[in-house]
Amino acid sequence: MKRCSFFALASVFLLSVLCVCSPSQAANTIKVGIVDTYTGPATTFTNDVLDGFKLAVQKINASGGILGKKIEFTTRDEKFKPDIGLAMAKELVLKEKVDILMGTINSATTLAISDFVRKEKIPFFVTFAKSDKIVAEKGHRYIFNMNENTEMAGRAAAIALAKKPYVKYWIAGDDYEYGHAIAEGVWNNLKKLKPSVQKVGETWWKVGEADFTPYITQILAAKPDFIIVATGGSGMVNFQKAARATGLSQKVPFYQHTATELSVLAPQGQNAPEGVFGTANYFFYYPDTAQNRAFVADFKKAYNRNPRIGALYGYMTAQFIAEGYKKAGKIDKEKFVTALEGMTLDSPVGKLEIRKCDHQLLLPMYFGVTKKDAKYEFLIASGIETIEGKDYVPSCEEVLKHRKQ
Amino acid sequence: MESIFGFVSPKILSQILVGLSRTVILFIVSSGLSLILGVLRIPNVAHGSLYMIGAFMAYTVSHLFGGGNMGFWMALVLAPLGVAVVSFAAERSLFQFLYEREHLMLLLLTFALSLVFGDLVKMVWGGEYRSVPVPSVFQGYINLFGGLPFPVYSFFLLVIGPVIAILLWLLTNKTKIGKISRAAAVDREMVGAVGINVSWIFATVFIIGCFLAGLGGVLVAPTVSVTLGMDHTLIMEAFLIVIMGGLGNVWGALLGSLIFGLTQSLGILVWPQFGIVFPYLAVVVVLLFRPTGLLRSTW
């Protein structure tokens, strides 16, 4: 029995190796494999990415596809587990023979897949994962980051916060990689821009912490001027609710990356706290340009809800894929990658460029503060300051020096 | 800040109150778990999922009645009943055939059920974050001891907790069904031999236990964002509390919840970075010295 199963395994392995080595068939479609988390609290974000992507794909396919080929896509749920995500990515490439990979909201999975696609030379578009290692330490030719990373978000926030009069800062957040990365991104850059700021203390709570009252009372007792709150996911809403319940938002101003996003403010309705500072890459109501209005209308018609940042990531990824092949002129991986470098496309938030040196998409960042608005059932960002992508992205030298050559 | 009673600082007292309000939620959920474990001998991993379903149902009911005060009170009544209905369906279709099976099998079964419930919640409510607003009577905060804010809703929890505890005590000690359940927990064969329909007793206890899980979910909903994944965080804590307190012992669940809630909130004062370690350290210490739990277990 044992020898039999070993033999079976060996022949399966041999066959799959042969399949990989055979030349890729000239399919009639361009296949995109999406690995993402569709289980648990992250689902609210990843559904946006998928819907935005689907919307663009429908449009592209309706107008003839890319070089006569239609875009086909398939999704795999990694359940926020890197080992599952990597296995799914391998299955998509080796068995489903996808041309392009896309995903994921989990940075650990993204980095694992990045190593894999580097060897397999499959273009990989990152949506939502925010680790700065994606383009820096672990960056390479085949990876494209379609969203901001923690270092960029930190810089943008620091640019805005350095103009404010606060001096004594407290840093608090979720005790995991994302929380620490955001906090460090903001703090290190703020200290560079405004050396007079002081860190009076730090608090870290477990990811998924639901009861912030004990931490908030501790922070209030230290009387800082401002708090940098590094929460992610459902921690955003939990913290804002606790801030309102304890009156923190009226006592000490604080900042969270994505505090002003619809995904955080909409569930709370009129009960969200006012006066919270936040950075975000997309609002459906700002900028009020024809492009944005058209995108919002299309999305609403298709999905009966307002688009959020994930939708923009998915939508633009599809557009760039289409344009990349069109510019390359043929279905050739290497020409496709080269065509994308430095490409600029129109988008609902203006012209977006994929930077040539590190394949980072340069999105504008909006720094604003939450405020009630009679037109909407939820709070929106007000006093919006736009920070252009090129102003808050680390320079090419800084990014590339992290890469081992 | 000056000390109260001459020696306890106001910061410590306010942290104790914060810990106690967390204790209330933990107690309500884990007492249900303990009841089911003690009487039915079922380690109900799906308890966390029922807690999550309670929170989502609270969102739906609250929205049906327009959010706000009316919405909350209706949710408080209707959502736990909804969870009770779900658990009744599960009990009649699955559990009633499996009471004689061994614990590992039941553990696996309830674990599978928790996965199924998790996906059902995703199908019914979708992946979005939901929020149940705090009713306006409980909004805002009180300044304790000069300057430390304590949410009014937490005071509400501090009042409701003992009420539920007393009601549970009355149920298990003073009602006929309570006495029969306690007997069934000790010796189910004898109870059956005396002519009582053990199957219906088990169903009733199961539904009451799950009702408590749903109630915990409704009570916690205004303070957190209602999301998928709520079940996993809570079930771990609930099981540890039940093990710490003594399997099947509802007062053990109370003691365990007190230890859990207080060590966490006071631990934050001592070592903020590692505040979450203290409850688990307490579990280790308790189990080292009393492996069967603090109070007498019914097994």
Q: Along chain B (299 residues), what's the average pLDDT of each consecutive run of 10 residues?
A: 61 85 95 92 94 96 88 94 96 87 90 94 89 88 78 93 93 90 86 89 94 96 88 92 90 94 87 82 94 84
Contact B150 A246 (CB under 8 A): yes
Query: Backbone dihedral region of A221: left (phi > 0), alpha (psi from -120 to 50 degrees) or beta?
Result: alpha
Confidence class of residue A24 from pLDDT cuts 50, 70 and 90? very low
Q: Is the peptide bond preceding residue A287 cis, with omega within 30 degrees of 0? A: yes
Arithmetic mean of pLDDT over chain A? 91
Mutate to test the interface with A, among B24, B72, B224 (most CBs of A within 10 A): B224
Cβ-based contacts under 8 A for chains A and B: 133
Mutate to test the interface with B, among A241, A251, A379 (most CBs of B within 10 A): A241
Query: Backbone dihedral region of A128: left (phi > 0), alpha (psi from -120 to 50 degrees) or beta?
Result: left
Assess A237–B contact: CB distance below 8 Å, yes or no.
yes
Cα–Cα dist A370/A381, whole Å? 5
Cα–Cα dist A221/B271, whole Å? 15
Token pair recorded at residue B55:
């929170």
Q: Are B82 and B11 in contact (CB under 8 A)?
A: no
Positions of E strands within chain B? 141-144, 148-151
Mutate to test the interface with B, among A211, A244, A305 (most CBs of B within 10 A): A211
- Residue A46's alpha-carbon distances to A6, A149, B231, in angstroms, are 39, 17, 20
Mutate to test the interface with B, among A51, A218, A264, A305 (most CBs of B within 10 A): A218
Q: Are B28 and B254 in contact (CB under 8 A)?
A: no
Assess B63–A contact: CB distance below 8 Å, yes or no.
no
pLDDT at A18: 53
Assess A207–B contact: CB distance below 8 Å, yes or no.
no
Write the DSSP string, A315-366: HHHHHHHHHHHHHH-SS-HHHHHHHHTT-EEEETTEEEEE-TTT-BEE--EE
Cα–Cα dist A386/B17, whole Å? 43
Q: What are phi and psi of A202, to 5 degrees?
A: -135, 145
Which 8-state DSSP code applies to residue B145? T
Contact B15 A38 (CB under 8 A): no
Contact B11 A208 (CB under 8 A): no
Residue length of chain B: 299
Q: Are B168 and B29 in contact (CB under 8 A)?
A: no
Q: Which of A83, A131, A125, A81 is nearest to A101 (CA)?
A: A125
Confidence class of residue A6 from pLDDT cuts 50, 70 and 90? low
pLDDT at A15: 59
Of B122, B131, B153, the CB nearest to A267: B131
**What is the sign of the dihedral through the CA atoms of B18, B19, B25 and B31?**
negative
CB atoms under 10 Å from CB of B79, counted, come to 28
Cα–Cα dist A52/A75, whole Å? 14
What integer is the mean pLDDT of A232-255? 91
Token pair recorded at residue A369:
């503060």
Of B11, B129, B133, the CB nearest to A263: B129
Contact B229 A237 (CB under 8 A): no
CA angle, residues A170, A172, A173, in degrees to nearest 5: 160
pLDDT at A19 exceeding the cut of 70: no
Q: Are B81 and B211 in contact (CB under 8 A)?
A: yes
- Domain ranges for chain B, please list them: 10-229
Of B129, B140, B154, the CB nearest to A213: B154
> Position A231: which residue type?
T
Long-range contacts of B249-252 (CB under 8 A, 24+ apart): B249/B34, B249/B38, B249/B293, B249/B295, B249/B296, B249/B297, B249/B298, B250/B31, B250/B34, B250/B35, B250/B38, B250/B168, B250/B169, B250/B172, B251/B295, B252/B34, B252/B293, B252/B294, B252/B295, B252/B296, B252/B297
Tell me the domains of chain A and their CATH numbers.
Answer: 25-148+291-363 (3.40.50.2300), 151-280+364-392 (3.40.50.2300)
Contact A237 B129 (CB under 8 A): yes
CA B214 from centre of chain: 8
Of B11, B151, B220, the CB nearest to A213: B151
Q: Are A321 and A66 in contact (CB under 8 A)?
A: yes
**What is the sign of the dihedral through the CA atoms of B101, B105, B111 and B113?**
negative
Token pair recorded at residue A72:
């086909």
Assess A250–B contact: CB distance below 8 Å, yes or no.
no
Confidence class of residue A25 from pLDDT cuts 50, 70 and 90? very low
Assess A40–B contact: CB distance below 8 Å, yes or no.
yes
Instruction: Tell me the three-class secondary structure of A243-264, residue by residue.
Output: HHHCCHHHHCCEEEECCCCHHH
Cα–Cα dist B104/B91, whole Å? 18
Q: State whether residue A298 is helix, strand or coil.
A: helix
Assess B265–A contact: CB distance below 8 Å, yes or no.
yes
Q: What are phi and psi of A354, to 5 degrees?
A: -90, 115
pLDDT at A214 exceeding the cut of 80: no
What residues of chain A lie within 8 A of the CB of B149, using their CB? 216-217, 220, 246-248, 251
Confidence class of residue A23 from pLDDT cuts 50, 70 and 90? very low
User: What stretch of H or E contains A62?
Assistant: helix A43-62
Q: Which of A102, A35, A31, A98 is nearest to A69 (CA)?
A: A31
pLDDT at B275: 75
Look at the pTM and tell me if it is higher than 0.90: no
Which 8-state DSSP code applies to residue A66? B
What residues of chain A lie within 8 A of the CB of B14, using their CB? 217
The H-assigned helical ranges of B7-102 are 10-35, 47-64, 68-93
ipTM: 0.78
Q: Are A331 and A325 in contact (CB under 8 A)?
A: yes
Assess B147–A contact: CB distance below 8 Å, yes or no.
yes
What residues of chain A lie within 8 A of the CB of B151, using their CB? 213, 245-246
Contact A247 B19 (CB under 8 A): no
Q: State whether residue A70 is helix, strand or coil.
A: strand
Strands A168-174 and A100-103, by their bridges, are unpaired
- Residue A26's alpha-carbon distances to A142, A322, A330, in angstroms, are 21, 17, 12
Confidence class of residue A13 from pLDDT cuts 50, 70 and 90? low
| Alpha carbon of A41: minimum distance to chain B alpha carbons (Å) | 5
Cα–Cα dist A101/A127, whole Å? 10
Assess A220–B contact: CB distance below 8 Å, yes or no.
yes
Q: pLDDT for A102-129, tens place per residue?
A: 999 999 999 999 999 999 999 999 999 9
* Among B residues 155-214, those touching chain A with beta carbons less than 8 Å apart: none
pLDDT at A277 exceeding the cut of 60: yes
Contact A245 B11 (CB under 8 A): no
Of A175, A209, A247, the CB nearest to B141: A247
Contact B223 A210 (CB under 8 A): yes
CA A4 from centre of chain: 47
Q: Are B84 and B211 in contact (CB under 8 A)?
A: yes
Contact A220 B141 (CB under 8 A): no
Which 8-state DSSP code applies to residue B47? H
